[in-house]
Amino acid sequence: MSSKDPYKLRKDNAKEDSSANPVLSDANMDALATMLEGHKVDLSAEFKAAVSTLYKKLDTINSKVEDHEVRVSSLESNANATSNKIIAFEEDCFKLTSKNTKLNVRITDLDRDSHIQPAYSVLLGAPSEGPWRPSSAFSP
């Protein structure tokens, strides 16, 4: 046995089996070919169904991503608009603060200058008794 190659032994055995019963081996080959073709069709159908399901899921995910993209861009544009409004508001507050400071300085100067009292008493209706201060005309 060691003198013969094991591959040749298997080949010889296969020839003997197929030559002993040629009808059975042809039927087996046809059945195997038919079974193989059936498996190919089934696997192809399963693969197509899996790919179709995958495409449907990907389409759903893609539509959600596009929807979120629209929402995010809307949020970004609103955030930019709000930021611009806040910057403008801060600038206005700074201007008003500086104007308020200037007006407070002027009122303080007017309070110190009592020689202007007659003009303000005519224009603003200041009281005739006691020391008159222009800031009292603006207080409630």
Residue partners of 111: CB distance under 8 A and separation at least 6: 133, 134, 135
Q: Which residue has the higher pLDDT, 123 or 104?
A: 104
Inter-residue contact 101 to 94 (CB < 8 Å): no
Query: What pLDDT is attached to residue 55?
Result: 97
Residue 25 has pLDDT above 90, yes or no: no
**Where are the alpha helices (H) located in the chain, listed in sequence order?**
6-20, 22-112, 117-124, 134-138
Amino acid present at 122 = V
Q: What's the CA gap between 82 and 56, in Å, rounded?
A: 39
Q: Kindly report the number of other CB atoms within 10 A of residue 136's CB atom.
A: 13
pTM value is 0.43
Q: What's the CA gap between 101 and 122, in Å, rounded?
A: 26
> What percent of the chain has pLDDT above 70?
63
Query: What pLDDT is attached to residue 99?
Result: 93
